[in-house]
Structure 1
Amino acid sequence: MSDWRGMLDAVVRERGRALFGYAYVLTGDRDQAEDLLQDALVRAFRSGRRASSVEAAQAYVKRAIATAFIDRARRAAARPVAGGDLQDWVAYTPKTPDHAPRVEAALDLQSALLTLPPRERACVVLRYMDDMTVAAVADTLGLAQGTVKRYLSDAVGRLKEAMPEVVFAESESVPVDVREGGAR
């Protein structure tokens, strides 16, 4: 088996569930998540690219998932579907009542995430669910840090309106070098 095939097999075997979960959080739909993951794996391994480790390959596939998700959203926006938009779909999607409040809260959060534009959603998922720094999110999505901060600010504002009970961790602080006797 060639190197890239062995790496693909290892990534799917060892990290497939985590990658599927990431795709599912972005799409909100099992079938779409499976398709998105498949597209990302094809993108990541179609050129026979070699990765140095399973972690490196997973990071590459995650970036391909985010890119494919944003590309799909752009294509969908360019070709609107008759019968409404995402907002209408979210508003009329029946929510299944559940006995567990945590499951209900997760579904509500998922619905709120689905109302965000694709780039904002990708930034929120990477920052708060993958616990990445703003710099890492910017690097992963190929955006400027200021752009990521703006997307996060706008998205968190919308999510707080929809779900005031959800608490988002404050943004990263800037390290300050304090020296005795003032600056030198």
Structure 2
Amino acid sequence: MQTTGREDEFREYVLTRGPALLRAAHQLTGHPLDAEDLLQSALTKTYLAWDRIEDRNALDGYVRRAMVNINISQWRRRKLEEYPSDELPEVAAGHEAASAEVTSEVQEALERALQELPERMRAAIVLRYYEDMTEPEIARTLGISVGTVKSTVSRAMAKLRSALGLPR
């Protein structure tokens, strides 16, 4: 098979500039396989327009603009695969019961572990994670310093993890 000068010139361009153009495509798509597809589509358009591109120094710009345009077109063509609904789907009864049982067991174990904590630790944990208070708010509420809040919460969390058999 004999190649033309046009094909050789294009092949040389792709070989020398391909890696840099692929990095640009990856920045556009955020995914390596999508980037390869995008670059391939842009290079196809570039090859078809090769004879019309007079300034060979502008090739990178041409390919990048083609990638941006193709990427935008793909966004616009995408159809929603999930649609919002006013009604939630039915949940299998067996799954719901098993899930509720596990959740109940975890909650009971957590309640027991919380009750075993010293009063200040328990108060700091409840204020931080149940009441969603900031460390300065907890410090004001308990009349202690922010540093004491931090260390108390840290030690309390370590005790809770240990009591629940969770990794540190």
More helix by share: 2
TM over 0.5: no
TM range (shorter): 0.3 to 0.5
Which has the bigger relative contact order, CA under 8 A and spacing at least 6?
1
State TM-score, norm by structure 1: 0.40
Larger radius of gyration: 2
